[in-house]
Amino acid sequence: MQQSTIKIDVSRDPQKMISSIRWKATDSTADADQAAKAMILSFWDGQEKSAMRIDLWTKDMMIDEMGDFFYQTMMVMAESYGRATQQKELAEDMKKFALEFYKKSRELLEKQ
């Protein structure tokens, strides 16, 4: 059996704010650790029938970047859901919601 490892390092400043997120995967083609400003990691506990998650972002993550990040994450989730379940209509509904979310997030930024 082949095994892969994903390593995530999170650094905090003296005020305990996240200052950096770095990650590396054994199956990655990248030689060095990769930097990230935010991450969302979810696990499904089949026995408990519940989702467990880790969501982190650095102190320099901007609101517009957060909107982009969530939009892209929701789009990828919709694609994954569609592939896993073959429920294309629900996957398309998720994509429509993600696009509406993105548009509203941009509108709110323009008002500020």
Q: pLDDT tens digit string along 69-97? A: 999 999 999 999 999 999 999 999 999 99
The pLDDT, as a whole number, for residue 36 is 97
What is the rounded CA–CA span in Å between residue 112 and residue 81? 34
Q: Per-residue pLDDT for the chain (112 aa), expressed as one digit of tens each?
A: 989 999 999 999 999 999 999 999 998 888 889 999 999 999 999 999 999 999 999 999 999 999 999 999 999 999 999 999 999 999 999 999 999 999 999 999 999 8
What is the rounded CA–CA span in Å between residue 90 and residue 8? 32
List the Cα angle 49/74/5 in 5-degree steps: 65
Q: Is 10 helix (H, G, I), strand (E, B) or coil?
A: strand
Residue given tokens 């199956």 in the structure block: 27
The pLDDT, as a whole number, for residue 90 is 98
